[in-house]
Structure 1
Amino acid sequence: MTQTAEFEIVRDFAAPREQVYAAWTRPERFARWFGPRIFTTPADRVVLDVRPGGAWQATLVGDEGFEVTLQGVYREVAGPGRLVFTTGDPDNPGDGPASVVTLTLDEHADGTTMRFRQFGVNTDAEHAEQSKAGWLEFFDRLAEHLAVQATSSKVSARP
């Protein structure tokens, strides 16, 4: 029997929507925040073919050469406000967990509100909580990346 689990994370970033979207869709930016802190995600190991039906893939590298690759397919691309993508193949997951992520970005006066919803198949409540905890760490790193981007943009804009 297939188990399903769903969760949502809402996060505000002090950055324009276009910057948050770029962090999700440009490999050199994605590599700076995607993954737990104990891993690096080399930009040359990130593929983001951001179009409906396009694939995404990121290889996280840990100590002693340990690697894990995450991948999926974009289902909807309506930038800079919405991305829908899979992790794994939720239509044919076999025995492994897979999911559909819906990401919406809403701009407001102080920055951007990101709504991240993940619906998983072959996922029990414990796995969903672990996934959510992982994404929360990723989004802390995303906030740090966006803060660095904002600082470097202000510095380069000076006369």
Structure 2
Amino acid sequence: MKTAEYEIVRDFAAQREQVYAAWTRPERFARWFGPRMFTTPADRVVLDVRPGGAWQATLVGEEGFEVTLRGVYREIAGPGRLVFTTGDPDSPGDGPASVATLTLEECEGGTTMRFHQFGVNTDAEHAEQARAGWLEFFDRLAEHLAVQATSSKVSARP
């Protein structure tokens, strides 16, 4: 069985609770999860955020092409930590699967997010493609958080 792992660290100009909400609320998750060439309808996102709860997101592309990603939450310690699987790393069959650990730490001006992913049935090429995909997702997450911050400031004005 081939394994691969990597870590991505990103700083966001948003409060830790806002970043955590983007990971745990379906209507927020849908706005950033997936490559730009797909949409992720909020009604096609399930986030049962509890240990043993399932998560699932269906990405919809051109001409009705769909791909569903899913896994299970292993650890919830919000708003600072989420551990979840993609696929079933304990019994992956022939497909790739992984465990992702997300930690959110308050820092000056916002939140530092550390995303660590350990994959099984994953060669270096697949791991690099997954990492590149997450980098695009996290660019979209930064854009979503910036929009949230702007709309919060507008609604907070008297």
Q: TM-score range by the shorter chain?
A: over 0.9
May I ask how many residue pairs the two structures share in their alignment?
A: 158
TM-score (norm 1): 0.99
**For 2:110 and 2:80, how far apart are their aligned partners in 1?**
13
**For 2:124 and 2:62, how far apart are their aligned partners in 1?**
29
2:68 aligns to what? 69
2:59 aligns to what? 60
5+ residue gaps, structure 1, are none
Q: Give 1:108 shift.
A: 1.3
**For 2:151 and 2:59, how far apart are their aligned partners in 1?**
26
TM-score (norm 2): 1.00
1:96 aligns to what? 95
2:123 aligns to what? 124
Residue pairs, 1:25-40, within 5 angstroms: 25-40=24-39
Kindly, what percent of the aligned residue pairs are identical?
89
Q: Give 1:44 shift.
A: 0.0
CA offsets 1:9-59 (integer angstroms, 9 cap, x no match)? 000000000000000000000000000000000000000000000000000
**For 1:42 and 1:97, how far apart are their aligned partners in 2?**
24
AA aligned to 2:115 is F
Compute the RMSD of aligned alpha carbons: 0.2
**For 2:107 and 2:40, how far apart are their aligned partners in 1?**
30
5+ residue gaps, structure 2, are none
